[in-house]
Amino acid sequence: MKNTVVVLIFSLGWLTMKAQESEFKSWNAVEYGMDINKKWSIDFSQHFRLKDNLEETDNIITQTEVYYKPAKRWKVAAQLRYNYRNDTNGGIQGFENMLRYRVGVEKKFKIKPGNFELRAMYQDRFSIDRPNRSKKVVRYRSLFEWKIKNWSYDPKFYIEYLDEQKGDDQKSYRFGVGTKAKFSKTRALAIRYFYQLSSQPFREDRTAHVFSLKYVFSKKKKEEKEEKTKS
């Protein structure tokens, strides 16, 4: 069973890379998370991203996100992000200071042999340097976490749809897989890969392979006790 999961994870990345020429990106982050109480928690993170086949800096991001749990298996999130973004394709090229806020809700379901999550979010990213430059997006994601008996690297598989409101009317699809390597109760490394297809009117479709590493420090209370179903 363990070998099957490993093969599935790496095969997804390999097959999509062989399918067509695409841009490679790298998203890396360090995150610290803590619980305020049983219902409220907060995360702080610093991100560094590369694009153009890892040859150019894409974004330098400082971010905070607050979570509220109104009921069992429900979560509401609000995020604020400062983004130092490198524009290498627009009419005015160079680094630009931007802000983004995001709000959303997530619902988790227990489905044998794991957990299934549905998430919906709205975000608005806008420039501090230039007026009338913003990007409003609605995002929908479905995710399945496969709980495997006697194995600590439970994989997550997800599909996400991003729908830009007005503007360039860009639509994006992400197909991803990831896992987490835990070093202790408070430290872990999250590993993720996703394939993205983006399209918008009057332009050729764009594709990208994104590899992500995130080192997580946490000071959080135990999650709600739920029966774990292992395959």
Q: Residue 17 above 50 pLDDT? A: no
Q: What is the DSSP string of 25-44?
A: EEEEEEEEEEESSSSEEEEE
Quote the CA–CA distance of 66 and 39 in Å, as a whole number. 11
Quote the CA–CA distance of 70 and 75 in Å, as a whole number. 7
Q: What is the pLDDT of residues 57-106, one digit of tens each?
A: 999 999 999 999 999 999 999 999 999 999 887 666 789 999 999 999 99
CB 119 within 8 A of CB 132: no
Query: Percent of the chain having pLDDT more than 90?
Result: 72
Angle at CA of residue 27, ends 23 and 32, nearest 5°? 170
144 - beta bridge partners?
A: 116, 157
Handedness of CA 55, 59, 62, 66 (dihedral sign): negative
Q: What is the DSSP string of 155-205?
A: -EEEEEEEEE-STT--EEEEEEEEEEEESSSSEEEEEEEEEEEEE-TTS--
Q: What is the pLDDT of residues 177-201, one digit of tens each?
A: 999 999 998 999 999 999 999 998 8
pLDDT mean across residues, the chain: 88
Q: Which of 2-16, 127-141, 158-172 has the lowest mean pLDDT?
A: 2-16
Residues recorded for the chain: 231
Is the domain 2-219 a CATH 3.10.590 member?
Answer: no
Q: Residue 164 above 60 pLDDT? A: yes
Structural domain spans, the chain:
2-219
Quote the tokens at residue 110: 């227990």
Q: Whose CA is closest to 82, among 59, 103, 105, 58?
A: 59
Mean pLDDT, residues 129-157 taken together: 93
